[in-house]
Structure 1
Amino acid sequence: MLDKSQVVTSLLCEDAYKFSMGQAIFHQFSDYKTTWDFRCRNSDVKFTPEMVEEIRRQVRLFCELRFTEDELAYLDKIRWIKGSYVDFLRLWHARYEDFTIDGNAPCGLRIEASGTWLNTSMYEIPILAIVNEVYFRYAYDSDELFGQFERKLSKKIGALCDGSFRLGNFSEFGLRRRLSARAQELAVSMLRDNDSRFAESHFVGTSNVELARKYGVTPVGTMAHEWIMCAGQGNHKHNPAYSNWYALDAWVKEYGILNGTALTDTITTDCFLRDFQLTYATLFSGVRHDSGDPFVWGEKMLRHYEKLGIDPITKTLLFSDSLDFGRATALHDKFSSRCRVAFGIGTFLSNDTDVPALNIVMKVVKCNGQDVAKISDIEGKGMCRNADYVDYLNRCIKWRMENEIGRTQLR
C-alpha cells in the first residue's frame, strides 16, 4: 500500500545553517526578496503527474506547521541564537502562496518559490526532502529500498568499529537528499549509539536540527552559497566580484567569533582568498570545501593560512562534497596531522541503496529582482537563469584577479 504519511512533521526538520543564516537575514536583510528554482540533474528521472500532485499536498501540509514552544526553547539554548530571532520564529510559517508547483519541466516537475528571503530561505531543505521521499515512494517498493539501506548502513557501522575507515570528526549532512525520514533517523540513531565503539572516528552530530534535538547530538551548519550570493550580489551597488567580502563582513557583524565556518567556492576559492585575509581568517574557525579537487583545495587553504602567519593546526578544514568513507579516510590521512579535519557526509549516509540517488537542488536565482549566480570551483555545480549575468560575473572576477593591486594585504 502506497505510503501517504506526512513527510515533514516539524519545522525543526531543517538544516542548521538555515537558522544560522535566517537569524542574520532577520537582523540585516529582512527586506530582501528572492526567487528560487528547483532542478533535477538526473537525465533519466521523470516525475509523474501523480507525484507532482502528492508533492503539492505535502507542501501544503508543510505550510500548516508552526514551531512549538518546546522546539523554540531548544533553539533558544543554542549559544549563537538570539532571543529576538526566536520571537520571530514564534510567528513564522511557510506560505503556500509563495510556491508554483507544476509539471512544466523536462523532468516533469517545476518548483519555483518567490517572496522574502526570510521565508524562501527556509523552504529549500524541506522541499527537497519532500521531493525525494515522494519520488521513492511512488517509483519503487519503499520497504525493499529501506531494507537495502539498512543492510548497507549496518556494514558501514561495522567498518567504523573495526577501523577499516578513519574519519576523525564527522557529521551526517543528508537531509536534502535522504531516502526518507525513517532512513535518516535510523542513520543518526545508529551512529550515535555506536560512536563509543568506533576505532578512529567520532560522530559529532547532524545538520538536521530535529534529529539533533531528538538524539542529543550537535546541530551542525554555518552558511550556504545563498548567503554569499544574496548578501554579496543582492545589493545592486555592489561589484559581485566582492561578494565574499560583503558576506563575511555581515556574518562577523552578526556572530563575531561564534559560528564561523566560511564557505569558499561560491565565486571560486581563488577569489574568496582575496578577501579571506588576516582579520577574517583569524575570526573564522575554519573553512568548508564543496566543489573541486578536495586535496588541491586543502593544500591551497593550508598555504594561505601559513602565508598569513596563522598556524593551520588551529583551524578546521570541513569537507562536504560527495563524500563516502573511503574518500573521507584518504582526506583524513592527508591532512589530519597538519590541521583540524572534519567531514559532513550526506547521501552516502542517508540514501545509499541499490538505486541511484536523486541529484536535485533548489537554488536562489534572483535577489531583489536581479540575477545572482554561483560559479563554483568545478563545471556543473553552478546555477543561474541568465547566461549573460554569469558571463558578467566571470568577467568581474577575471578583472579583479588580474588587475587588482593592494587589496591582498593583511587586514
Structure 2
Amino acid sequence: MIITHFTDNDLYKYSVMLAIQKLYPWAYVRYEFINRGDTAFPKGFAEELKKEVMAMASLKMTKPEKEFMIRRCYFFDPAFIDFLEGYQYDPSEVHIKQEGGDLKIRIEGYWYRTVLWEVPLMAIISELYFKMTGIEPQNVKEKAVEKAFQLRQMEADFSDFGTRRRFSFDVHDKVVSYLKMYSSKFFKGTSNMYLAMKYDTTPIGTMPHEWFMFHGAVYGYRAATVKALDAWVDAYQGSLGITLTDTYTTDVFYEQFGQKQAKLFDGVRWDSGDPLVFTDKTVEFYKSKRIDPLSKTIVYSDSLNLERVQEIKAYVNGRIHDTYGIGTFFSNDVGAKPLNMVIKLSEVKYDRRQKFQYAIKLSDVQGKHTGNTKEIELTKRTLGIR
C-alpha cells in the first residue's frame, strides 16, 4: 500500500474542500488525468493502480493527525475537522482503464468529496511507475543537503511542494527531514500535511486552479476572478490569502483584481510564464493601487531549481517579499525522469440536476492550456485573449 496516512495529502486540497462544503455542497464534478509527457505505462499498471485505489478506502484520520490539524490549521472550523475524522475515500469515484501503454483515469462525484483524490492519486501513479519499471533512487541525502545549504546561502525563503510527482513517499520523507535539518530559518514548511506533522513544521498552501475553473464554468469567464476571490473571502475571512493569477492568464487577472481584494489578499502565486515579467507586472500593479509592494508576497512555484531561484531572487532585488515553493526538484531529483502529468477539473455542475459545463484553464504558457478545445477558444474570445 503506497498511501498509508490519511493526511499524506497537500493542505490546499483540504482548504478548498472546506470552501466547497461551505458554499457549493451540491456541486458535482469530473476530473481527468492528463499525460502531458506521453508516458507509456507498463503492462498491468491499471490493475495495480486499482488495487492501490481500493486500499485508500481503509485510510482514517488518526488522533495525532487530528490534534495537529487543530493546532496548526487555525482557519479550519471544528465541524470540518470532525468531518475529516469520519471521511472515507470511495474508490467507486475513480474510473481507471489501460489500452496498451495509454492510461485513462476519470474521477466523478460530489466536488466536496472527490477533491481529495488528485494529490494522493498522482503520488501513487508516480511511485507505482518507478516501482514497476525497476528504477531505484540515487543520492537522496547528498542532493537534498546540498540544496538546503545553497538555499540557505542565498537567504531564500522556501517550502516543499513535492507531493504530487515525488519519486516515492520514502524519498519525500527523507528530503523534507534534510531540508529542515540543514536550511536553518529559510525552510518555511511543506505542503504535505503528514510530513508537516511528522517534522513539526508549517503546512503551506491556499487555493488551487480548480477554484477559479469552477467559477468560470458556472458564472462565466468575465466574472470568474471576482466571484472566485469573493467566495474565498466568504469562506476564510482573510485567512489563506495567497491567490493564483494564471487560471485565465495573469493579464486578465490583474484587470479584474480590484482595490479591495488587492489590499485584503496577502499576495499572489506565480505558476506559469516568465517569472521576471511576472515580477514587474506584480510590483507595478501594487504601485498602481497605492499599495506598498513590500507589504505583499509573491510565491514562485513553477518548475524551480537552484539556478532559477537564484535568478529570480536577484531580479526581485528586495522590491517585494519573495518566497519559493519547490516541488519535483526536491522530491524527484534522484536519477529518474519525473512523470509529466496532471489531474485537472474537466466538467462541473452547480448541482446534479444540471448539465455538465466544461471547466478550462488558460495558463500564461500556451502549451499548458487544459480542457475542451472549443471551450478554450470561446474563453479566449470572451476575454479578448489572442
TM-score, structure 1 as length reference: 0.89
2:30 and 2:151 mapped to 1: Cα distance? 42
Unpaired segments of 5 or more residues in structure 2?
Answer: 350-355
User: SS of the residue aligned with 2:227?
Assistant: helix
Query: Please, which of 181, 186, 196 is the counterpart of residue 212 of structure 1?
Result: 196
Q: CA deviation at 1:234?
A: 4.0
CA deviation map 1:259-302 (0-9, x unaligned): 10010000011111122121001110000000000100110010
Look up the match of 2:130: 136
Q: Which amino acid aligns with 2:181?
A: D
Q: Which amino acid aligns with 1:13?
A: D
- Residues 1:314 and 2:308 are matched in the alignment: no
Q: CA deviation at 1:184?
A: 0.6
User: SS of the residue aligned with 2:5?
Assistant: coil
CA deviation map 1:316-350 (0-9, x unaligned): 01100000011111111221411110000000000
Q: CA deviation at 1:394?
A: 1.0
User: SS of the residue aligned with 2:318?
Assistant: coil
Tell me, yes or no, if the aligned pair for 2:36 and 2:340 is still in contact at 8 Å: yes
Tell me, yes or no, if the aligned pair for 1:239 and 1:396 is still in contact at 8 Å: no
1:26 and 1:17 mapped to 2: Cα distance? 14
Q: CA deviation at 1:79?
A: 1.4
- Residues 1:49 and 2:43 are matched in the alignment: yes
- Residues 1:82 and 2:63 are matched in the alignment: no
Tell me, yes or no, if the aligned pair for 2:144 and 2:179 is still in contact at 8 Å: no
Aligned-residue sequence identity (percent) comes to 34
Look up the match of 1:326: 307
RMSD value, Cα: 1.6
Structural mapping, 1:74-153, within 5 Å: 74-77=68-71, 78-104=73-99, 107-142=101-136, 145=137, 147-153=138-144
2:64 and 2:296 mapped to 1: Cα distance? 34
1:364 and 1:296 mapped to 2: Cα distance? 28
Tell me, yes or no, if the aligned pair for 2:145 and 2:182 is still in contact at 8 Å: no
Look up the match of 1:3: none
CA deviation map 1:359-407 (0-9, x unaligned): 11100100111101001111121211x2111111111111xx89xxxxx
Query: Please, which of 242, 249, 265 is the counterpart of residue 261 of structure 1?
Result: 242
1:25 and 1:290 mapped to 2: Cα distance? 23
2:231 and 2:139 mapped to 1: Cα distance? 44
Tell me, yes or no, if the aligned pair for 2:140 and 2:175 is still in contact at 8 Å: no
Q: Which amino acid aligns with 1:155?
A: E
Q: CA deviation at 1:257?
A: 1.8
CA pair 387-160 structure 1, distance change in 2 beyond 3 A: closer
Tell me, yes or no, if the aligned pair for 2:135 and 2:336 is still in contact at 8 Å: no
- Residues 1:355 and 2:350 are matched in the alignment: no
Look up the match of 1:29: 24
CA deviation map 1:75-126 (0-9, x unaligned): 122111111211221221111111111104x742111100011111100000
Query: Please, which of 182, 185, 191 is the counterpart of residue 179 of structure 2?
Result: 191
- Residues 1:177 and 2:197 are matched in the alignment: no
Look up the match of 1:407: none
2:131 and 2:139 mapped to 1: Cα distance? 14
Tell me, yes or no, if the aligned pair for 1:191 and 1:203 is still in contact at 8 Å: yes
Q: Which amino acid aligns with 1:153?
A: A
Query: Please, which of 374, 380, 383 is the counterpart of residue 394 of structure 1?
Result: 380
Look up the match of 2:216: 233
Structural mapping, 1:148-159, within 5 Å: 148-159=139-150
User: SS of the residue aligned with 1:219?
Assistant: coil
2:302 and 2:294 mapped to 1: Cα distance? 22
User: SS of the residue aligned with 1:31?
Assistant: coil
Q: Which region of structure 1 is more displaced relative to structure 2, 208-217 or 75-84?
A: 75-84
Tell me, yes or no, if the aligned pair for 1:167 and 1:325 is still in contact at 8 Å: no
Q: Which region of structure 1 is more displaced relative to structure 2, 116-125 or 49-58?
A: 49-58
- Residues 1:20 and 2:7 are matched in the alignment: no
Tell me, yes or no, if the aligned pair for 1:167 and 1:332 is still in contact at 8 Å: no
Tell me, yes or no, if the aligned pair for 1:205 and 1:212 is still in contact at 8 Å: yes
Q: Would you say how many aligned residue pairs link Structure 1 and Structure 2?
A: 379
TM-score, structure 2 as length reference: 0.95
CA pair 234-76 structure 1, distance change in 2 beyond 3 A: farther
CA deviation map 1:196-223 (0-9, x unaligned): 3xxxx70000000100011011100001
Q: Which amino acid aligns with 1:33?
A: Y
Look up the match of 1:281: 262
User: SS of the residue aligned with 1:35?
Assistant: strand
Q: Which amino acid aligns with 1:339?
A: I
Look up the match of 1:409: none
CA deviation map 1:228-249 (0-9, x unaligned): 111x1242xx222221111000
Look up the match of 1:302: 283
User: SS of the residue aligned with 1:204?
Assistant: strand
1:326 and 1:85 mapped to 2: Cα distance? 41
Tell me, yes or no, if the aligned pair for 1:287 and 1:316 is still in contact at 8 Å: yes
Tell me, yes or no, if the aligned pair for 2:298 and 2:322 is still in contact at 8 Å: yes
Q: Which region of structure 1 is more displaced relative to structure 2, 64-73 or 14-23?
A: 64-73
Query: Please, which of 357, 361, 374 is the counterpart of residue 361 of structure 2?
Result: 374
User: SS of the residue aligned with 1:270?
Assistant: helix
Q: Which amino acid aligns with 2:379?
A: L
Q: Which region of structure 1 is more displaced relative to structure 2, 331-340 or 177-186?
A: 331-340
Q: Which amino acid aligns with 1:335?
A: V
